[in-house]
Chains A and B, each alone.
Chain A
Amino acid sequence: MSEMRASSVTTSGTPQPTSVTGGSDREFNVKERSQLQQALRRFRRHRLAVASLVLLIFIVLLAFVGPLVWKYQYTDITPDNSQPPSLAHPFGTDSLGHDGFAQVLRGLQQSIKVALCIALVATTLGVVWGGISGYYRGLADSVLMRLADLILTIPAIALAAALGSTSGGAWWMIALILGGLSAPLVARAVRGVVLSLREQEFIEAARALGASDSRIILRHLVPNALAVVIVYATLLVAAGILAETALSYVGFGVQAPDTSLGLLITAAQSAVQTRPWLFYFPGLFIILIALTVNFIGDGLRDALDPRQTRQRR
């Protein structure tokens, strides 16, 4: 019984590529694909995620190219004030005559910048934090993880508000603060992955074959932890948009004269009955971004960690 090879037939969607070594030259097996190709293929199959990606790319283009071509700047004051949406002002105007569309574009741009920075800061910091914790264990691990526990005991929005009250409303300060406060979450996840990977048999096998530490880290730990990190980074973008919004609402986020989607809604909250367009459009964009990013994250999780996916019809 030396040839007992598992070919997954029953539950997992894709069968393991197997190679025919003897017998005839007939080949009826699925071609071997690289990990990346397989992940891409699985992602493409997640139609909602692909549609979300397309929509998100469109929104990002709108945010960064839109202001260059649109006839009004977000600071422009037009003679039309409190106008409902029309051809001249697709998103209407506020009571001062600011063009709603220009304002939303600017808010979109700032919010996206903040969200991307939050994700970047949180994952970078979190990977180093969790990586050190998991790989070196011992004292470093205890200290770093207690610190993470500590930060996570305190509501993030409260810490951000306390810190943000001195930030002066610069968008990068907000991003830095919220990113830093999200890092412990990533650190915990990365540590978990690293710890469990350390115990895995293929790592042991690599070690037994004489692979060096750096080879183990680069060839085995990083690619396997990468899946978790990418998914986290994606979800953090969505969380970041929402966190910035909340912070703006309590008054410790981006400050006027600059603007963000959160600030736009906050400014429009009293006008929800009289000039609802000012309230709905920025909210709609926040939902669109958070929704698409979450769907993409879901698709990425399926694509990168096929063990979690189950058979689909």
Chain B
Amino acid sequence: MTAETNIELSRKAGDREAVLEVENLTVEFPTDDGVVQAVRGVSYRLAPGEAMGIVGESGSGKSVTSMAIMGLLPKTARISGSVRFRGEELLGRSENDYSSIRGKKIAMIFQDPLTSLNPVYTVGYQISEAILAHNDVSKKAAMDRAIELLAMVGIPNPSQRVNNYPHEMSGGMRQRVVIAIAMANNPDVIIADEPTTALDVTVQAQVLEALEAARAATGAALVLITHDLGVIAGHADRIGVMYAGRLVEKGTVDEVFYEPRMPYTLGLLGSLPRLDEAGRERLTPIVGAPPSLMNLPPGCPFTPRCPLAQPVCEEREPDLYVTDAPDHLSACHFHERLVGASAAQLFRPTSVDTEDITPRDLEVQP
């Protein structure tokens, strides 16, 4: 028996175990101006209890992917591919059918806690509603459980707070309520879509702590979507990097952080200030902006911003190639050239887009 078949076998076994499998997921939005290709063939697997981070800029399709998994996209969205929960296909289910999965098997936490809760109901009502939707218990029991959940996510005086309306709570508190709702039915998967982005930096750590508490209590697998690489580093086992609706690099945290094989990932890392290298490395921003997802030309969408771009990049969009580690994948024709490369070698270490500088900016202030 060779090593290769061994890997094959363990993979097969893994497939049976996966709680969530996304395969070649594609989401398109028809608009008056043309079709927006928000997600273009995303695939990933999530093992029970695993934490996976997804990073990418706004509009890279991170949120749309998770909304598609939850069946929460507007009816106009065209979705294809496959989303399986413990082997069962989710796509194409009726709204009624889907509602027995949502919250019970897969729960979701949204970005903005200020607008996520209904202003006209108390937080206790909104938590117990989630419990009552999937369990045949009394309202009293549901409310007791709500208090318990509030305590678990670190809200002081939960038995009083349970009667508060959302507007009587701070943003961080509200996000903890949303986390409490997500863990209410012990789901197998929790998808957290930028759970800390809308919050003060000081509160972010507390909310992430609450999220960790929720994971510990439920044993749920986590999909953590963020554009904050720092958050990912501390809370995820594996990382997927998204760009222009595709996963462009996948691997363990260490692989992606220390041996990135996609110029975009390298650029992201280079534009992140790091305490451990303070003073030695300059920040290297990626110039330009992500492409419009309408009428994407053929080729790699990162080409216009890529320092390694070659004619082939404009012609053919690269597949996800296996790099030196079998689970470390990269969508770059030239991923081999990136072995040992640093961001500063690829991107110019400037702190501003030099193209945007006008002579006026260079005038000496009196």
Contacts and interface: CB of A to CB of B under 8 A. Distances in A.
Asked if A and B form a direct contact in the complex, defined as CB atoms under 8 angstroms apart, the reply is yes
Interface string A94-128: 00000000000000000000000000000000000
Chain A: number of interface residues, binned into ranges: 20 to 34
A14 B32 CA distance: 8
Interface in A262-313: 311-313
Contact of B227 (A4, A26, A28, A313): A4
B94 interface: no
A28 B33 contact: no
B290 to A, nearest CB: 6
Chain B: number of interface residues, binned into ranges: 35 or more
A4 B56 CA distance: 9
Given A18-B289, A22-B353, A311-B31, A6 B309 contact: no
A3 B39 CA distance: 21
Contact of B303 (A2, A24, A29): A24
A246 B311 CA distance: 72
A48 to B, nearest CB: 14
A29 B297 CA distance: 10
Given A1-B272, A13-B32, A6 B59 contact: yes
A9 B288 contact: no
A45 interface: yes
A7 interface: yes
B138 interface: no
A19 B356 CA distance: 11
Contact of A3 (B74, B288, B294, B297): B288
A179 B286 CA distance: 57
Contacts of A22: 287-288, 304-305, 353, 355
Given A26-B304, A28-B292, A29-B292, 7 more contacts: A2-B351, A9-B29, A14-B33, A15-B294, A18-B290, A22-B287, A311-B29
Interface of B: 29-33, 36, 38, 57-59, 61, 63-64, 74, 76, 227-228, 268, 271-272, 283, 285-297, 303-306, 309, 314, 351, 353, 355-356
Interface of A: 1-11, 13-15, 18-24, 26, 28-30, 45, 311-313
25 contacts: A1-B227, A1-B268, A3-B271, A4-B58, A4-B227, A5-B58, A7-B292, A9-B36, A10-B29, A10-B36, A10-B38, A15-B292, A18-B290, A18-B292, A21-B289, A23-B287, A23-B288, A24-B303, A24-B309, A26-B304, A28-B292, A28-B297, A30-B33, A45-B32, A312-B32
